[in-house]
Structure 1
Amino acid sequence: MDQMSDQNDRRIPVTELDIPLDRDVFLRTLIRELSGVLEDVVGLEEASGFISIVGQNIGNQMDLDYKEALGVSRLTRAQVADVLVDLKARIRGDFYIIEQNDQRIVLGNRACPFAEKVIGRPSMCMMTSNVFGIIASQSLGYAKVSLEETIARGDAGCRVVVHLQPDVTSEAASGHEYFRS
């Protein structure tokens, strides 16, 4: 062996290197890059559509999980609001209820579950829209989710309005509609 090889052998073992990588960081980065490729290749609207399908599937499963755990076939409005906050807390989001009534649930958020990986990737917000919309609509019959502010678009936090009634206010709001299946 030459002298350079001997020096390389005395370095810190790779397993002891300070590399910011674990399963969470890897999966968040994977989703960020996947959404970025989709946005670049098919455009933001189509990328959001693909991510919506994933969000719908996850929303259906979470809806069933919460209903089973609570022993109910449908959630009340108050339970829907609590579930939306709880599920985000379980995945390291920091959602909280700003307001809730029979017409809408308004949520704020200080921390995205995707953390910094969501910045500049608004299509990733379709996960929130679909999960919230599916859970609300399956129990309450209807939901329209409006992502008024998002960390992904550069806002300091998120403001998400889940409209629970098809009315003039929900019709005027931008967002996606969900209906009980």
Structure 2
Amino acid sequence: MPDDLRDVELDLDSDLFMRRLLRELAGTLEGVVGVDAAEGYVSTVGSQMGRWMDRNYRAALGTDALTPEQVAQVCVDLKRRINGEFYLISADEEKLVFGNTRCPFGRMVEGRTSLCMMTSNVFGRIAADNLGYARVELSETIARGDAGCRVVIWLEPGPEVAETREYYRIPDPPKTGGAT
């Protein structure tokens, strides 16, 4: 055994540790409470993360609300910043369509479909809080074994589809005049 373990070749760093931790947490949730309930838990966290990211982007851009074009740019940029490879396929007044070739969770997402609720809720929360409404469809996901992801954000209500989730604007809390 070497005297100093810093010299030992080992595939372990904080990023891999965190991705593995999330994989194991998702797997435990899926196994204990089922995939649907696990998706609910991840959705709650995803919604909170979406609100946090949205506030940060709006502050950085100096705006109270993003346009549909900015929502698309923000979705691509935030995934890039966390090591995903999302890109905009198309955008029109009805929908924003994204593709992805690399999940931010890396290979750890494979078989952990509940983790896809992070993308659904972050994208859905950002779109709904800026545009009033969003319905997110995850038609292809790396977690389910697809070669990539295909995510559609519908900007208007439409027929209910099993693989979609709806999001509505949650108003920001009122700003107070001073510290309490």
Q: Does 2:163 correspond to 1:146?
A: no
Aligned partner (choices 103, 111, 117) of residue 108 of structure 2: 117
- Residue of structure 2 in register with 1:176 after alignment: 165
Structure 1 stretches of 4+ with a deviation exceeding 6 A read none
State the identity as a percent.
53
Instruction: Provide the rounded CA distance (Å) in 1 between the counterparts of 2:116 and 2:40.
Output: 11
Residue from 60, 64, 69 that aligns with 2:55:
64
Distance in 2, Cα, partners of 1:109 & 1:159: 7
**C-alpha displacement at 1:12, in angstroms?**
5.9
**Under a length normalisation based on structure 1, what TM-score does the superposition of the two structures give?**
0.91
Q: Is residue 150 of structure 2 the alignment partner of residue 159 of structure 1?
A: yes
**Residue 104 (str. 1) matches residue 98 (str. 2):** no
Q: TM-score, normalised by structure 2?
A: 0.92
Q: Which runs of 5+ in 2 are unaligned?
A: 171-180
Q: Which amino acid is 1:64 matched to?
A: R
Which residue of structure 2 lines up, in the alignment, with residue 15 of structure 1? 6
How many matched pairs?
170
Q: CA deviation at 1:173?
A: 6.1
Richer in helix (by share): 1
Relative distance call for 1:91 and 1:146 in structure 2 (3 A) is same
Structure 1: state its 5+ residue gaps. 1-7
* Aligned-residue offset at 1:167: 2.5
Q: How much is the aligned-residue C-alpha RMSD, in angstroms?
A: 1.1
Letter in 1 for 2:164: G
